[in-house]
Chain A
Amino acid sequence: MHERLSFYVKRDSFLHRLNPLTKLTLAFGLIFIAFFSPWYWAPQILFLLAIIPLSFLGKVHREYFSAAFRLILPAAGFLFLMQAFFQPIGAKAIFKFWFLDITPESLMFAFTNASRIFVMVSSFTILLLTTHPSDLMSDLTRRGLPSQFAYVIISTIQIIPQMQAKAQTIIAAQRSRGLDTQGSFLKRIGALVPLVGPLVFGSLVEVEERAIAIEARGFTSTRVKTSLREIPDTSFDKILRWFLILLIIAVIAARIWL
């Protein structure tokens, strides 16, 4: 059975060894610079000088490039087209199609925004590729994030494939009792109705049992929790985080005063 439930790729690399909070700060730092830097070419330079080197540093460049070409680039490309056509700025159209027109200004605007989004999604992709979700959540919980919040995030990630499997089972059970799920679009939509009831109500019952199960294991215990996973936090991590925070402040300052 396919056991992969997260993007995480287990490797031994510089990025994998960093503390999860450091990587999270790094991702947010890159996003901040991409969005708030006063320099026009910042997102593109970040991609070349930060995102690509980081993907190699984390030994996840193959996974990253595959995600970048198949998912991030098409999404950013779509955003670029939408903004280029619909942004009502600039007077002189360089391209006209029906009621849509592209001006040099809207083109620039669309390019910048698409690049920013590209950098944002890329930095999170690299974070998720090199950080196990459990490590990220245990580290944040240790630093004060409510454990209920961490639980909701992790269990949601895990529950989606389970819900899909359950939907398949319900459909198979109902088809074996004669429910017609083939045919026209409307007929297929209609076939969804008997699926929703069992799936939704079944899940509500499950939530109750799961609440009992985790409570029986002391989830709401008031003691200070410990973590099975050992999460490194070196002085290098701390220095790097402070450096990134100063960098973010510097970018905001430059934005205000430059």
Chain B
Amino acid sequence: MAIVNLKNVTYKYPLTDAPALSNINLEVKEGEFVAIIGPNGAGKSTLCYTLAGFIPHFFKGELEGKVEIAGVDLKSSALNEWVRNVGLAFQNPFNQISGAKYTVFEEIAFGLENQGVPRDEMNQRVEEALTMTGIRDLADRSPYSLSGGQQQRVALTSILVMQPKVLVLDEPTSQMDPIGTREVFGVIRQMAERGMTVVMAEHKIEWIAEFADRVVALKDGKILLQGSPSDVLTSRLLSENGFGISRYTSTAREALKHNLWPKHLHLPVTLQEAADGFGGKK
């Protein structure tokens, strides 16, 4: 039984004619890690806001079709109830800092305070979350004094600590260095293993290939194709539709023309796959 259920979802922002999402059908199983890719303006953020309930409850506009998460219908649910099941972290880390707290520790506890979690449990959960995302040493700093990447980790931790059933992430690593990105993807993968459902809009294709269970490619508000990362990310449709593709894929595709890539192998997306393919040829 899918925990996330989108049926024929079409959405128009207020005062616009063109739909930002049109006829989206998406099912996500519990504990699945789904990555959403697409060029700028494809509707990735809009889809994230829809899953997180801010469309239509915050942005208004016209939402058609059915959005159901954990058995609850979006239109009949209030936003402050909806966010208990679905956590959202988005791109700009600076604006995700509540502004009501003086230390990172308090910042992360903010959501738990709002939920009315008792103090002892709150302390324990914040400690655990800080350790998990590797920002234990930032606990006493002011959230405003941190770098962009550190702030993104704080924003992610602030949502993880609330233990939502579905975690929606809109480019959560955009300001992180490669090492930080890898760590954060690892943490998110770990959450999925523990049963948290993850939907993540992301550009970093090599990381998606390594960590995600399924990839959904969006273009002009429609689902262009979806499937396993190795199928979707190496599809010709991607480069034909202006998606960014992995340099390993394009190199191997070129190599294939000159018989330098083994025909029986799938085109590579990650460095490891590329190394295996080119190495095996010798």
- Residues on A close to B: CB < 8 A? 1, 3, 5-6, 132-134, 150-151, 154-155, 158-159, 161-162, 206, 209-230
Q: Are B95 and A226 in contact (CB under 8 A)?
A: no
Task: Assess whether B119 is interfacial by the CB under 8 Å rule.
Answer: yes
Q: A5-B102, A134-B106, A228-B106 are in contact. Are A218 and B114 (CB under 8 A)?
A: yes
Question: Shortest Cβ distance from A247 into chain B, in angstroms?
Answer: 33
Interface centre among A150, A151, A228 (most CB of B within 10 A): A228
Flag B10-38 by CB within 8 Å of A: 1 or 0 each: 00000000000000000000000000000
A52 to B279, CA, bound (A): 80
Q: Are B119 and A228 in contact (CB under 8 A)?
A: yes
Q: Are A155 and B100 in contact (CB under 8 A)?
A: yes
Q: A209-B95, A217-B111, A218-B80 are in contact. Are A224 and B116 (CB under 8 A)?
A: yes
Task: Assess whether B67 is interfacial by the CB under 8 Å rule.
Answer: no
Residue of A nearest to B116 (CB): A223
B interface, by DSSP: helix, strand, loop or mixed?
Answer: helix
A252 to B170, CA, bound (A): 59
Interface centre among B49, B95, B123 (most CB of A within 10 A): B95
Q: Are A213 and B123 in contact (CB under 8 A)?
A: no
Q: Are B144 and A212 in contact (CB under 8 A)?
A: no
Q: Are A218 and B88 in contact (CB under 8 A)?
A: no
Contacts of B100 in A (CB 8 A): 134, 150-151, 154-155, 158, 214
Task: Assess whether B270 is interfacial by the CB under 8 Å rule.
Answer: no
Interface centre among B111, B122, B155 (most CB of A within 10 A): B111
Interface centre among A158, A209, A223 (most CB of B within 10 A): A158
Contact with B144, one of A132, A162, A214 (Cβ below 8 angstroms):
A162
Contacts of A210 in B (CB 8 A): 95-96, 98-99
Q: A5-B102, A210-B99, A213-B96 are in contact. Are A226 and B90 (CB under 8 A)?
A: no
Contacts of A213 in B (CB 8 A): 90, 95-98, 155
Q: Are A212 and B54 in contact (CB under 8 A)?
A: yes
Question: Shortest Cβ distance from B244 into chain A, in angstroms?
Answer: 25
Question: Shortest Cβ distance from A183 into chain B, in angstroms?
Answer: 33
Contacts of B215 in A (CB 8 A): none
Task: Assess whether B129 is interfacial by the CB under 8 Å rule.
Answer: no
Contacts of A1 in B (CB 8 A): 145
Task: Assess whether B236 is interfacial by the CB under 8 Å rule.
Answer: no
Q: Are A218 and B83 in contact (CB under 8 A)?
A: yes
Q: Which 6 A-B pairs have the closest CB atoms?
A: A217-B111, A155-B99, A209-B95, A218-B114, A223-B116, A213-B96
Q: Are B80 and A215 in contact (CB under 8 A)?
A: yes
Q: Are B122 and A216 in contact (CB under 8 A)?
A: no
Contact with B101, one of A6, A134, A212, A223 (Cβ below 8 angstroms):
A134
Flag B66-110 by CB within 8 Å of A: 1 or 0 each: 000000000000011001100111101011111111100110011
